[in-house]
Structure 1
Amino acid sequence: MSVKRARRGQSETGDPLLLTPGPLTTSRRVKEVMLHDWGSRDAAFLDINRRVLERLPAIVNAAGTHVTVPMQGSGTFAVEAMLTTFVPPGGKVLVLINGAYGHRARRILDLARRSSVVHETAEDRPPDLGTIEGLLDSDRSISHVFAVHCETTSGILNPIAEIGALAERHGRRFLIDAMSAFGALPLDAARVRFDALAASSNKCIEGIPGLGFVIARQDALAETRGRATTLSLDLFDQWQGFVRTGQYRFTPPTHVIVAFHQALEEFFAEGGQEGRGRRYAENCLVLIEGMRELGFKPLLPPALQAPIIATFHMPKHPKFRFSTFYEGLKDRGFVIYPGKLTVADTFRIGSIGRLFPDDMRALLANVREVLSEMGIASLAAANRPLDKDLT
């Protein structure tokens, strides 16, 4: 008698499901629109690109006050363009770090010879608002504050509105890395005053990699002429090129942009940020509750967990090997993600992209099967704190 196995992970096009922070699983239609070629200066492509750029600010209630400046490349290209265009040579950035992407921003500033001061907390802790206020009070040379909305090193949700309020009250400019939050987590430009935020095509809008973008307050962007430290990443010059010609200065990733346009159509059809965020939140809830039932321990408490990617402690069971676990899930059509923390040995599972709650339930059934094949009947005893940990 054959034993019925759990459903394999499979996208609309038969590919494994990507449970990662990006690139992500995309829809069939997003893939299909890339089957055609587009001239980068052809009117049809320019119209598609214009519509993409015009629609993005509305996602954060910034239409009319902010403009979109696209930047060819990954999301880091957009973050670097934002930092090196908006921070002047005499500026100083308070960089809030609780993961790899805060460290990356600080490295960008160092290479661009822009001054910075760091407030760093552990990867499972948000920035301390009192410490931020103290730094802004004591160091008048700080001109900008930089924060990551959702730090996917751990999946933590940082208090972006509260940080923005502090920056505004103290007369500082605010720059946001919204890479893994844009389109899924609410952000209102009318309530959170920011000069610029950086995001990309291949995260919560569910496009493909290859295009970053910066949504910039137009009057702040107008002040940045001549500040950029590189030719390619000069947001002011890129913006002015669109104002004059409607075209990119250098070759654009045409297929990426057309796919991004299709992804935006699907995003708004789902209900925009509210609808997309609701689906991701349900995905994340099903995932965390199910993994907890299987004996896995989430890193973050619910109050700090963003519905983007969840981090789990590596089980202490003697038979658990992450490489075996990873390959077992991959063979069943589920691609998860290694950990990136320094505070704990962990792995991560994403809940964004073209994924639905039933996909998360199928993942959990396959996790159970893989554990069984590894000879692990239960993780509960392995993850129970030792007596010395309870004192």
Structure 2
Amino acid sequence: MSKLDNERANNLKSSLLPDPEMGEPFLLTPGPLTTSFAVKQAMLRDWGSWDGDFRAMTADMRRRLLALLGAEQGAFECIPMQGSGSYLVEAMLGNMVPKDGKLLVLANGAYGLRAAKTMEAIGRAYHLLDKGDYLPPRGAEVADILANDPAITHVLAIHCETSSGILNPIAEISQVTYAAGRKLLVDSMSAFGAVPMEPDQIRYEALVSSANKCIEGVPGFGFALVRRSELIATKGNCHSLSLDLHAQWENLEKSGQWRFTPPTHVVAAFLEALKAHEAEGGVAVRGARYTSNRDVMVAGMRELGFETLLDARWLSPIIVTFFCPADERFVFDRFYELMKDKGFIIYPGKLTVVESFRIGCIGQMDEAIMRRVVAAAKQSLEELGVTSAAPPQAAFEERKKLNA
């Protein structure tokens, strides 16, 4: 390793544990998120996209993702694809929904609505069930829509809707979808790797996720996990040259290469993240750590007077939405800056009825870090002069609707 490479490695090593004095705060977001030193270090080397070593890395990554999925051997295929999570959602919809098919989009936040916009953009028929900011789509209403619209061929569900932090009832949705003779597609961007999704437990035809979420890689690509029989049937169906999952899969199977220039450094980092995920104990242990992060953080924030949008049965271990305090001295933008000064980047809210903000539970963090988050929130409230973090009455009315 050259002197310059040694300096770079030493600089990165100093950020193994992020610290505001070192210029790297913890990212309390649903991804990008705080990554390990090993993941960062994996990006220090350049890779040739056509070289045998990189092709072997791609093959290893695909094998590991299929093993993580937990499907019967040969039942599913893994197709990595360049771009953000939204690219993968569009790829899944453009490949899996036939040109003469129709999609039922289950939306309870920004990502379901974005899927509906995607269907409109690619010229495919869809029906939108919009539950608003946070209410979960339930099996009975899905069954009712399917019974009254025989043109619907597929259903799209968002596994974890990060607008609110809600973990949607995928098993319930799957059951009614297949009882009606339809097929389920899952956007599991923010949940795959931490919440079990074994296809023999919950039926679906395709699932998409991203490198920079619960597996704790960095942004740059996503992947589709598709039932092999369904994937074969999609040949020629895609609306796009670059987002054609079938064509990408064929090329990977034939040559081991991506069709277009892959994000080589990101793949190297992701492979390191996959190894760490396995070493930690897989989906169950990763999910348990995130759940513990959530529970410690939520308990601490409630002690300060904050209230969560959701009650326990809907809280995901990914990100939690809190109502903003009613105290007029609480200004979110100032609170955000104070938290950032203390080493924590939180997330704005997306609710339309009342003001809110979100705190992520994923990434290279543990209970000790979450206690520091609560301490930083307490200090920030004091600096704002806020004596009570209790939300306005309207917030309780909204939560009452959810729990009805």
Which TM-score applies when normalising by structure 2? Answer: 0.91
The reply on whether 1:144 has 2:154 as its aligned counterpart is yes
1:18 aligned partner:
27
| Equivalent residues in 2 for 1:141-290, closer than 5 Å | 141-290=151-300
Q: Offset of 1:353 from its aligned partner?
A: 0.7
Task: Give per-residue Cα distances to partners, 1:262-303, cap 9 Å, x unaligned.
Answer: 000000001100010000000000111111110111100110
Which shifted more, 28-37 or 187-196? 187-196
Unaligned stretches of 5+ residues in structure 1? 1-9
Q: Offset of 1:388 from its aligned partner?
A: 11
Shift >6 Å, 4+ stretches:
384-390
1:36 aligned partner:
45
Q: Offset of 1:64 from its aligned partner?
A: 2.4
Amino acid at match of 1:272: G
Q: Offset of 1:58 from its aligned partner?
A: 2.2
Which shifted more, 237-246 or 371-380? 371-380
The reply on whether 1:94 has 2:99 as its aligned counterpart is no
> 2-side partners of 1:258 and 1:387: how far apart?
46
Q: Offset of 1:124 from its aligned partner?
A: 2.2
Q: Offset of 1:41 from its aligned partner?
A: 1.0
> 2-side partners of 1:175 and 1:39: how far apart?
34
State the secondary structure of the residue aligned to 2:32: coil
State the secondary structure of the residue aligned to 1:303: coil
Q: Offset of 1:385 from its aligned partner?
A: 7.6
Contact 1:11 1:25 in 2 (8 A): no
Task: Give per-residue Cα distances to partners, 1:8-63, cap 9 Å, x unaligned.
Answer: xx752542100001100000010001011000011111111111011112222124
1:296 aligned partner:
306
> 1-side partners of 2:179 and 2:393: how far apart?
46
> 2-side partners of 1:314 and 1:355: how far apart?
24
> 2-side partners of 1:125 and 1:173: how far apart?
23
> 2-side partners of 1:295 and 1:289: how far apart?
10
1:70 aligned partner:
80
2:9 aligned partner:
none
> 2-side partners of 1:388 and 1:275: how far apart?
36
Amino acid at match of 1:108: T
Task: Give per-residue Cα distances to partners, 1:153-191, cap 9 Å, x unaligned.
Answer: 000010101111111111111100000010011111012
State the secondary structure of the residue aligned to 1:295: coil
The reply on whether 1:61 has 2:70 as its aligned counterpart is yes
Which shifted more, 369-378 or 245-254? 369-378
Alpha-carbon spacing, 1:67–1:159, altered in 2? closer, same or farther (3 Å): same
Alpha-carbon spacing, 1:320–1:265, altered in 2? closer, same or farther (3 Å): same
2:337 pairs, out of 327, 335, 338, with 327
The reply on whether 1:119 has 2:129 as its aligned counterpart is yes
Q: CA RMSD in A?
A: 1.8
State the secondary structure of the residue aligned to 2:320: strand
Q: Offset of 1:378 from its aligned partner?
A: 2.9
Which shifted more, 230-239 or 116-125? 116-125
Contact 1:95 1:117 in 2 (8 A): yes
Amino acid at match of 1:219: S
Which shifted more, 63-72 or 100-109? 63-72
Alpha-carbon spacing, 1:372–1:130, altered in 2? closer, same or farther (3 Å): same
2:376 pairs, out of 361, 366, 374, with 366
State the secondary structure of the residue aligned to 1:192: coil
State the secondary structure of the residue aligned to 2:313: helix
> 2-side partners of 1:87 and 1:191: how far apart?
23
Which TM-score applies when normalising by structure 1? Answer: 0.94
Q: Offset of 1:341 from its aligned partner?
A: 1.8
Contact 1:11 1:17 in 2 (8 A): no
State the secondary structure of the residue aligned to 1:212: strand
> 1-side partners of 2:171 and 2:250: how far apart?
30
Alpha-carbon spacing, 1:176–1:18, altered in 2? closer, same or farther (3 Å): same
> 2-side partners of 1:358 and 1:330: how far apart?
18
